[in-house]
Amino acid sequence: MTIAIEPVTDPHALAAALSGRMLIDGALVPAVSGRTYAVINPATGQTIATAPFGEAADVEAAVASAAAAQKAWAKLPARRRGALVAECGRLLAGRVEELGRLVALETGKALRTESRGEASVLADVFTFFGGLGSELKGETIPFDPAMLTVTLREPIGVIGAIIPWNAPMMLMAMKIAPALVAGNAVVVKAAEEAPLAVLRVAQVMNTVLPKGVFNLITGFGPECGAPLVAAPAVRKITFTGSVETGRAVYRAAADKLIPVTLELGGKSPMIVMADADLDRAVAGAVAGMRFTRQGQSCTASSRIFVHDSIHDAFVDRLAAAVDRMVMGDPLDERTDIGAIVSKSQHERVCGYIEAGRAAGAGVRACSALPDDPALAGGLFVRPHVFTGLGNDSRLAREEIFGPVCCVIRFRDYEEAIAAANDSDYGLAATLWTRDLKTALDAAHRLEAGFVQVNQNLVVQPSLSYGGIKQSGLGKEASLEAMLEHFTHKKTVILNMT
């Protein structure tokens, strides 16, 4: 079956056209069983498409296709592979509008503040890694003058990539672009909530890449994700998702003794010192909490430690800034904040808000719920800023993955550093100060994979990104990540005596 490749800016029409398909061996196919499940627009509750309910038979077909394609793919010169990946980036850059609209429709992320940006970053990730083919180089080692001793960076083979729904295209790109440039073939398992935009990306890639080097399957964790991890030909898993599922994936990978990269949760601290530029810090908290993504980010700065002397002013300004944000239809250009992705996530987030209220915390509920009757069935949640909770409270310890943050008062710097590090997680951290000495000291002492001072950027192609502690294993987004996570180093000795 063919689905037109011309850009379609009406996301409803595109969702309907992509219904019931996934990409296996270069073709858009249904599940072997013919089963499907509904894809829901979380802003309305309406079904916008179906997706194949992939199971073991589909995984087997996708993995067999990848294994067959990988050999010839690995034989291409690395720069040639890079050029093809960069060409995918060029084509995707021409589809920012189409892809942004589609991902907004299926995930509930606002087009203007989130979804369009995700589509641009997607293209940029392909362009960045596409330029790195010739960096897959080894070393020469002065082992013995009579021997030439070198290392080669070789592909691992077939990679299984399991992705979440919160930035599905961008997070997929962070895995597949480096994996492909390094000479691997990939089978991606899409998140059940967001199978459509990634399928459109796959369809575009399929016009450039040899069939089979990239396959995209859809389905649920136990029926589709688990068989992918278990498939004998899959020699590495790269996973982004929750800690609990990450552990299950790691355990299954241990049975096969294959390596994993795990990008898991976070409970990232933000420390605002008394001398901080308050306006910048407040803007940093709004951006860092990803309120425009309904807080659905593993990097979200959800624990905000603020010095006693500015605490109340900070809370007032933060609440006022979030209050000005417009919640509404994700496809409406006026909308800042969209909908929570699924009913189960919505329930989870609301449960945390109730728990915070029950704990007697101070709370500011910001931004009005949309009053458009068309959105009456939508999964909207007002952003909540809690105060008065300690770092030991449930809301400060557990990842909420919703628009909920805790502002926690501190009196001295040592207390703030200790509390920031008192967490099971270690993904990101930020510090806000005008004092260079404090900034450098905190950069050394904060237990996180990514520390920023006076800014709160998201993951950037070229900068290694990944957590410590329960936040995961390994890095993504950089040259080193491609080398460490998608190749192995072979040592070769040529004895010329």
Name the residues that contact ligand ADP, by CB under 6 A: 162-164, 189, 191-192, 220-222, 225-226, 229, 241-242, 245, 248-249
Q: Report the residue number, 248 or 274, with the smaller CB distance to ligand ADP.
A: 248
Nearest CA among 341, 313, 327 for reference residue 371: 327
State how far the alpha carbon of 9 is from the alpha carbons of 2, 14, 15, 99, in Å. Answer: 18, 8, 11, 8
Q: Report the residue number, 229 or 381, with the smaller CB distance to ligand ADP.
A: 229
Token pair 């806000």 in the structure block, residue: 432
Task: Give the separation between CA 364 and CA 378, rounded to whole angstroms.
Answer: 22
Give a three-class secondary structure readout of 334-365: CCCECCCCCHHHHHHHHHHHHHHHHCCCEEEE
The two three-digit tokens of residue 3, written as one number:
């689905």
DSSP string of 22-38? EEETTEEE--TT--EEE
Tell me how far, at minimum, the Cβ of 397 lies from ligand ADP, in Å. Answer: 17
Tell me how far, at minimum, the Cβ of 239 lies from ligand ADP, in Å. Answer: 7
Q: Report the residue number, 52 or 225, with the smaller CB distance to ligand ADP.
A: 225
Q: Report the residue number, 309 or 344, with the smaller CB distance to ligand ADP.
A: 344
Nearest CA among 112, 120, 163 for reference residue 338: 112
Are the CB atoms for 382 and 365 separated by under 8 Å?
A: yes
Task: Give the separation between CA 265 and CA 241, rounded to whole angstroms.
Answer: 7
Q: Report the residue number, 182 or 226, with the smaller CB distance to ligand ADP.
A: 226
Q: Which residues are paired to 365 by β-bridges?
A: 384
Tell me how far, at minimum, the Cβ of 140 lies from ligand ADP, in Å. Answer: 41
Tell me how far, at minimum, the Cβ of 101 lies from ligand ADP, in Å. Answer: 22
Are the CB atoms for 347 and 398 separated by under 8 Å?
A: no
Q: Which residues are paired to 155 by β-bridges?
A: 487
**For residue 145, which amino acid is it?**
P
By CB neighbour count within 10 A (0-12 exposed, 13-18 middle, 19+ buried), where does 231 fall? buried
By CB neighbour count within 10 A (0-12 exposed, 13-18 middle, 19+ buried), where does 334 fall? exposed
At residue 364's C-alpha, the angle toward residues 447 and 394, to 5°, is: 40
Tell me how far, at minimum, the Cβ of 174 lies from ligand ADP, in Å. Answer: 14
- Percent of the chain as helix, strand, coil, to the nearest 5: 40, 20, 40
Nearest CA among 350, 332, 453, 436 for reference residue 400: 350
Tell me how far, at minimum, the Cβ of 290 lies from ligand ADP, in Å. Answer: 15
Q: Report the residue number, 241 or 472, with the smaller CB distance to ligand ADP.
A: 241
Q: Report the residue number, 344 or 491, with the smaller CB distance to ligand ADP.
A: 344
**For residue 279, which amino acid is it?**
D
Tell me how far, at minimum, the Cβ of 188 lies from ligand ADP, in Å. Answer: 9
Tell me how far, at minimum, the Cβ of 396 lies from ligand ADP, in Å. Answer: 20
Catalytic residues: 263
Which stretch of DSSP H or E encloses residue 489? strand 487-495
Q: Which residues are paired to 162 by β-bridges?
A: 189, 239
Helix axes 413-421, 436-445, angle to 10 degrees: 30
